[in-house]
Chains A and B, each alone.
Chain A
Amino acid sequence: MSLLSLANVQVAYGGIQAVKGISLHVDAGELVTLIGANGAGKSTTLKAISGLHHAGAGDIRYDGQDIRTLPSFEIARRGLVLVPEGRGVFPALTIEENLAMGAYSRTDRDGIAADIEEKFALFPRLKERAKQTAGTLSGGEQQMLAISRALMAKPKLLLLDEPSMGLAPIMVQKIFEVVKEVAKRGVTILLIEQNARLALSISHRGYVMDGGLITLEGESKSLLDDPKVREAYLGETA
Chain B
Amino acid sequence: MDTFIQQLINGLTLGCVYAVVALGYTMVYGIIQLINFAHGEVVMIGAMVAYTVLTMLAASGLPPVFIVALAVFAAVPVCMAVGYSMERVAYRPLRRAPRLAPLITAIGISMILQHVALIIWSRNNLSFPQLIPLTTYHLGSSETSATITNVQVGIILTSIAMMAALLALVYKTRMGIAMRATSQNPQVAGLMGININQVISFTFMVGAALGAIAGVMVGTYYGIANYTMGFILGLKAFSAAVLGGIGNLGGAVLGGILIGLIEAFGAGYMGDLTNVCFLNSFLPGFANLCESNANGSLFGSNYKDVYAFIVLILVLVFKPSGLLGERVGDRA
Contacts and interface: CB of A to CB of B under 8 A. Distances in A.
B184 A91 contact: yes
Interface of A: 50-52, 71-73, 76-77, 81-82, 84, 88-93, 97, 100-102, 104-105, 135, 149, 153
A76 B192 contact: yes
A104 B192 contact: yes
A52 B187 contact: yes
Contacts of B188: 84, 88, 90
A82 B187 CA distance: 11
Contact of B191 (A72, A93, A100, A135): A72
Name the residue among B191, B195, B196 with the largest chain A CB count within 10 angstroms.
B191
B330 A92 contact: yes
A48 to B, nearest CB: 14
Contacts of A105: 192-193
B177 A135 contact: no
Given A97-B177, A135-B332, A104 B194 contact: yes
Contact of B193 (A73, A88, A92): A73
Given A104-B174, A135-B332, A92 B180 contact: yes
Interface string B307-332: 00000000000000000000000111
Interface residues of B, number: 20
Given A100-B174, A135-B332, A88 B181 contact: no
B181 A101 contact: yes
Given A90-B185, A104-B174, A76 B330 contact: no
B251 to A, nearest CB: 14
Nearest to A76: B193
A43 to B, nearest CB: 13
Contacts of B180: 90, 92-93, 97
A134 B302 CA distance: 50
B192 A101 contact: yes
B189 interface: yes
Name the residue among A82, A90, A135 with the largest chain B CB count within 10 angstroms.
A90
